[in-house]
Amino acid sequence: MSAKRKVKKPAVKKSSGKSAGKAATKKATKKAPARKSAGSLSSKKAMTKTAATKKAAVKKSSTKKATKKSAVSLSPSAKKAARAGLRRARPGVADVLTEALPYLRSYVGKPIVVKVSGQVAENESLLADFASDLVLARQVGVRPVLVHGGAPQIEAQLEREGYESRFRDGLRVTDGEVARVVEMVLSGQVNKRIVSAIEAAGGRAMGLSGRDGGLITARRAGGGLGLVGEVVSVQIHPILAIEQAGMIPVVAPVGGAGGEVLNINADTVAGAVAGALGAVRLLIATDVEGLMDSGGDVVGELSLGAARRLLGARSTGGGMRPKLSACIAAVEGGVEAAVMLDGRVPHALLLELFTTHGGGTIIRHK
């Protein structure tokens, strides 16, 4: 067992009371500077913080000025190029407006009749384009009247109900049940869809069929087509009343005779309405580029005589025969020109009316 280590305590020097007092006072005086008050520390910290803030603010201001200077600093050549770019861009817009001006003058206050196919009416994007074009035309003073088809929608409904479709010379053979479906689809579905599209584009529209207000008087076309009608006369008063109320008329091609519903081809109705209104243009928007020649190229322009000869030669078949016939009837009825155009082209209506970039086939007197 190891012995405990003895630790000697340091000897304390004894002094007199007076000397001890002096020593203690001196010691206290020496140590006093080391103890700083809380107030001095806070003051110093605040001063340091203020200086740092000022320094940061100066740095930030300098950086911001430098950034601003670098952002707007362009060489003389760059400034010249920017100005040249602006000068080049402006005439493009001006050219479009200048090009449209004479056309606007020729159409203001005058009616035009536009026929859209069922294919266009079921395509949401194309329908929105046509609706906005119609609204714009109305806003600048043109009087658009729209007539619509609905072949794909009728076909789909007939298939759902188990009916088989038959056609002759581009016209649907129609019995009583088919006539019921035709009226339901055209007046109850397609017409309302187009009216809604026009109103969504910021315009006002009202739908009606040929049976409303005595708009269209029709009779059976014969030829084994059943309840297919041909137009006898058009009373324009319902259309004028809708126009006077500030709305665009949207016509479903259904007529009546002796209380029975007659299915009338939409192109035929459009041509008859255009003639009755004395329209300056009949525009038939379809899902082809226009009337094709034997080589498959689009025929750009036809005189009325040439169009009659083409129709008489029966070289035009299918759905194009009613369109050609409607254009001929419209021009014969006093319409300045009738155009078969590609309705699949965005804003085809505006391009045809207000620019030199219209397409398709135009038929007019020569």
Residue 65's pLDDT is 46
Q: How far is residue 40 from each of residues 35, 36, 37, 48, 52, measured CA to CA in Å? A: 11, 7, 5, 12, 18
Helix (H) or strand (E) holding 310: helix 304-312
Give me the sign of the Cα torsion angle 87, 88, 89, 93: positive
More confidently predicted of 264 and 23? 264
Where are the extended beta strands (E) located within the chain?
Answer: 111-116, 143-148, 167-168, 171-172, 205-209, 216-220, 229-234, 248-252, 254-257, 260-263, 281-286, 301-303, 337-342, 361-364
Nearest Cα residue to 288 out of 343, 239, 349: 343
More confidently predicted of 246 and 76? 246
Pairing of strands 301-303, 143-148: unpaired
Of 172-176, 267-271, 283-287, which has the strongest mean pLDDT? Answer: 267-271
Which burial class, exposed, middle or buried, applies to 16 when counting CB atoms under 10 A from its CB (0-12, 13-18, 19+)?
A: exposed
Cα angle 228, 233, 235 (rounded to 5 degrees) comes to 120
In angstroms, the CA 164 to CA 33 distance is 112
| DSSP letter string, 328-339 | HHHHHTT-SEEE
The number of angstroms, rounded, from the C-alpha of 288 to the middle of its chain's C-alpha atoms is 22
Eight-state DSSP code of residue 12: P
Pairing of strands 301-303, 361-364: parallel
Question: Structure tokens of 166?
Answer: 């038959």
Give the confidence band of 256 by pLDDT, cuts at 50, 70, 90: confident
Per-residue 3-state assignment (H helix, E strand, C coil) for 181-196: HHHHHHHHHHHHHHHH
- Looking at the chain, the number of H-run helices and the number of E-run strands are 13, 14
Radius of gyration in angstroms for the set of CA atoms belonging to the chain, rounded to a whole number: 43
Q: What is the pLDDT of residues 296-311, one digit of tens each?
A: 788 888 999 989 988 8
In the numeric block, the tokens 């969504």 are attached to 200
250 SS3 class:
strand
Strand partners, 147: 115, 251
More confidently predicted of 31 and 293? 293
More confidently predicted of 186 and 223? 186
For residue 5, pLDDT over 70 is answered with: no
Residue 56's pLDDT is 53
Cα angle 46, 49, 52 (rounded to 5 degrees) comes to 150
Q: What is the pLDDT of residues 313-345, one digit of tens each?
A: 766 666 788 899 999 999 999 999 999 998 888
State mean pLDDT over 1-21: 43
Residue 352's pLDDT is 86
**C-alpha count within 13 angstroms, C-beta hemisphere, residue 85:** 6
44 SS3 class:
helix
Q: 151-160 and 176-185 are packed helices; what angle lies between their axes, rounded to 10 degrees?
A: 120
In angstroms, the CA 219 to CA 330 distance is 19
pTM above 0.75, yes or no: no
CATH number 3.40.1160.10 is the correct assignment for the domain at 96-364: yes
Phi, psi dihedral angles at 353 (to 5 degrees): -80, -40
CA dihedral of residues 338, 340, 346, 347 (deg, nearest 10): 0
More confidently predicted of 360 and 277? 277
Mean pLDDT for all residues in the chain? 79
State mean pLDDT over 202-222: 94
